[in-house]
Amino acid sequence: MERRIVHVDMDAFFAAIEQRDDPSLKGKPVIIGADPLGGRGRGVVSTCSYEARKFGVRSAMPISEAWRRCPKGVYLAPDFRKYEEASGLIRSAFYEFTPDLEQVSIDEAFLDITRSAHLFGGPLETCRRIKARVKELTGLTCSVGLAPTKMAAKIASDLKKPDGLVEVRPEGLRAFLAPLDISRLWGLGPKTAEVLRARGINTVGELAAAEADELRGLGVHGPELKNLAMGEDPREVREEEGARSVGNEITFSADTGDAREIKESLVALADKVSSRLREGGFKGRTVTLKVRLEGFETHTRARTLAFATNYADVLAKEALALYAAFDRGRKKVRLLGVKVSGLMPAGERESLFEEAEDGRREKAHKAIEAIREKFGRGAIYRAGGKKDI
Ligand code: TTP
Ligand code: MG
């Protein structure tokens, strides 16, 4: 049976939430991210409203560049608690339509509706209803792609943003893929793309029509990529461990090589990520450290733990160990990030063995949270971490 896969991606997610909650922001360029400090800010843009995109502002752009392009924009710091709440709501909306759900990020998910679409009037009608339900629960719009494969659904959801709905019918799949640039194919990295381009293969259609001899040197990857180009993508929708993550970053006001400042920042980041995980009711197994050096050169290092955790001290220890093993040469540090992925519900036990230790730690964390609730964030910091982010 042909599969019917849906990809949903919220529109300008963080910015749309801010516009929803403050109607005076509607229709205005709204930029969420680091403090621009009148153009001297050194952090990055998380996202921005479509009005701001007209000025050329984009996610991950230095905030100073955004300020240059759009000095009249409304600049706001992110409020993750609100975004995670909305993320929970869209997830519950999706579950009303199918249990086969894969949340890819805070605002994006795949749904396999092959077996459930008939209950809602067919695949396209199911997509309309998903959009309506998301709007009803959150007041936000999303863009939806419906296709026989995950890759095509993801590409389709991006085509008519915002508030889009694009269907790729099974019989139209190859024609849909053919004109796309090969870089759109999942798993096709820049090096492979370069090799293929040198052989005159630039589009997915050209790759689909390639002879075995034109794919030489690509190893086992060659036939796989050709299959993908022909619309054969067997990847299934499933809740993968590691798909969702919670992370925070800090950009230093000046590049730093100061060991103490770096250490304190990592501890504070771990603390912040721990709080967000606990607020969301999650723990996770993989800790990723991001280090951006002067000149914007960016590196990541990750480690997967034996047990999932949301404890600040464990996260801090891992982040510090990852940093200690990282060689930055003589370059100073511009940005640090700590992220936890491989999430699962906090209450889920992986072994009985954890129980006693857990009980003790749980008490300590609860006490800290109670103080924070009373006196606000900033009232308490773990030893070594005195920065709020
Ligand atoms: P995206 O879905 O990539 O962006 P978006 O929802 O803001 O806009 P679009 O309409 O193009 O989908 O990311 C979802 C959220 O994740 C986004 O609102 C903010 C956050 N984010 C960052 O914090 N940093 C980033 O570099 C990106 C790409 C996203
Ligand atoms: Mg989005």
For 240-256, what is each residue's pLDDT tens digit?
A: 544 578 899 999 999 99
The pLDDT value recorded for residue 245 is 84
The one-letter amino acid at 276: R
The full set of domain ranges for the chain reads: 14-80, 178-229, 245-379
Does the pLDDT value for residue 29 go beyond 50? yes
Name the CATH code of domain 14-80 (choices 2.40.10.10, 3.50.40.10, 3.10.20.600, 3.40.1170.60).
Answer: 3.40.1170.60
Q: What is the pTM of this model?
A: 0.72
**Three-state SS letters, the chain:** CCCCEEEEEECCHHHHHHHHHCHHHCCCCEEEECCCHHHCCCCEEEEECHHHHCCCCCCCCEHHHHHHHCCCCEEECCCHHHHHHHHHHHHHHHHCCCCCEEEEECCEEEEECCCCHHHHCCHHHHHHHHHHHHHHHHCCCEEEEEECCHHHHHHHHCCCCCCCEEECCHHHHHHHHCCCEHHHCCCCCHHHHHHHHHCCCCEHHHHHCCCHHHHCCCCCHHHHHHHHHCCCCCCCCCCCCCCCEEEEEEEEEEEECCHHHHHHHHHHHHHHHHHHHHHHCEEEEEEEEEEEEHHHCEEEEEEEEEEEECCHHHHHHHHHHHHHCCCCCCCCEEEEEEEEEEEEECCCCCCHHHHHHHHHHHHHHHHHHHHHHHHCCCCCCCCCCCCCC
Mean pLDDT in residue range 42-46: 93
pLDDT in tens, 123-161: 999 999 999 999 999 999 999 999 999 999 999 999 999
**Residues of the chain with pLDDT > 70: what percent?**
88
Supply angle C-alpha 141, 143, 144, rounded to 5: 130
Probe target for ligand 1 pocket from 31, 59, 131, with the most ligand atoms within 8 Å of CB: 59
- Residue whose CB lies within 8 A of the most ligand 1 atoms, among 47, 61, 110, 163, for a mutation test: 47
CB of 106 shorter than 6 A to ligand 1: yes
Q: Is the pLDDT of residue 21 over 60?
A: yes
- pLDDT band at residue 238 using 50, 70 and 90 as cut-offs: confident
CA 285 to ligand 1 centroid distance, Å? 24
Out of 6-20, 306-320, 342-356, 357-371, give the one with best mean pLDDT: 6-20
CB neighbours of 357 closer than 8 A, spacing ≥ 6? none
Identify the band that residue 233 occupies on the pLDDT scale cut at 50, 70 and 90. confident
Identify any residues that bridge with 284 across adjacent strands, giving them in sequence order. Answer: 309, 343
| The predicted structure's pLDDT at residue 234 | 84
166-180, 291-305, 338-352, 365-379: least confident range: 365-379
Q: Is 51 in the pocket of ligand 1 (CB under 6 A)?
A: no
The model's pLDDT over 200-222, given as tens digits with 9 standing for 90+, comes to: 999 999 999 998 888 888 876 78
Q: Residue 358 has what pLDDT?
A: 64
Query: According to the model, what pLDDT value does residue 381 have?
Result: 42
The answer on pLDDT for 368 being more than 70 is no
- pLDDT at 54 exceeding the cut of 50: yes
Judge if the beta carbon of residue 19 lies within 6 A of ligand 1.
Answer: no
**Whole-number Å distance between alpha carbons of 34 and 56:** 17
Spacing, Cα 208 to ligand 1 middle (Å): 31
Q: Is the pLDDT of residue 169 over 90?
A: yes
Ligand 1 atom closest to the CA of 11, numbered from 1 = 10
Please check the confidence at residue 98 and state whether its pLDDT lies above 80: yes
Q: Is the pLDDT of residue 105 over 90?
A: no
Closest of 350, 348, 369 to residue 278, by C-alpha: 369
- The percentage of the chain sitting over the pLDDT mark of 90, rounded to a whole number, equals 67
Domain 245-379 has CATH 3.40.50.970: no
At the fourth CATH level, which superfamily is domain 178-229? 5' to 3' exonuclease, C-terminal subdomain (1.10.150.20)
> Residue 364 corresponds to which amino acid?
A
- Tokens coding 252: 């230093």
Give just the sign of the alpha carbon dihedral 11, 17, 19, 20. positive
Read off the pLDDT band of 380 (50, 70, 90).
very low
